[in-house]
Amino acid sequence: MIQEWKTNCMQHHKHCMQRKADPLPKRILEITTEYVFLRERPRNLAPYACLSHCWGLNGPAVKLTARTFGRLRDGLKACDLPKTFRDAVEVCRRLGIYYIWIDALCKDF
């Protein structure tokens, strides 16, 4: 269903931006079969997704900090991410999008 909406939007909506590839933000998560990797200053163009979510009272269990930076860069198993992030990664995979920007994991805190 989502794929169908997306195809329709990409093909028929003249008010929606129709770029096939986007300049990637300065930090982004790359999605592979099992892992997500934090990429810095990627040079390539590729479609990416963003996650819009509630932080809740305490915020997500995993955040980008000086301590977690190395772990995220070396790759984190998608199944170790908080559930909302994990699900979003799964949606990306199914839509054929291999980059996702999640504020908690891509912004400095």
Residue 89 CA to residue 64 CA, distance in Å, equals: 17
Q: Which is nearer to another protein, 36 or 92 (CB)?
A: 92
Residue 92 CB neighbour total at 10 angstroms = 20
Q: Which is nearer to another protein, 32 or 59 (CB)?
A: 59
Q: What is the closest distance, in whole angstroms, from the C-beta atom of residue 2 to another protein in the complex?
A: 5
Residue 101 CA to residue 107 CA, distance in Å, equals: 9
- For the record, the structure tokens of 42 come out as 């990627």
Q: Which is nearer to another protein, 55 or 73 (CB)?
A: 55
Q: What is the closest distance, in whole angstroms, from the C-beta atom of residue 43 to another protein in the complex?
A: 15
Query: Distance of CA 62 to CAs 33, 38, 57, 104, 106, Å?
Result: 20, 13, 14, 7, 11
Q: What is the closest distance, in whole angstroms, from the C-beta atom of residue 73 to another protein in the complex?
A: 19
**107, 63 Cβ separation under 8 angstroms:** no
Q: Which residues bind another protein (CB under 8 A)?
A: 1-2, 5-6, 9, 13-17, 19, 22-23, 25, 47-61, 82-88, 91-92, 95, 97, 100-101, 104, 107
Q: Which is nearer to another protein, 75 or 82 (CB)?
A: 82
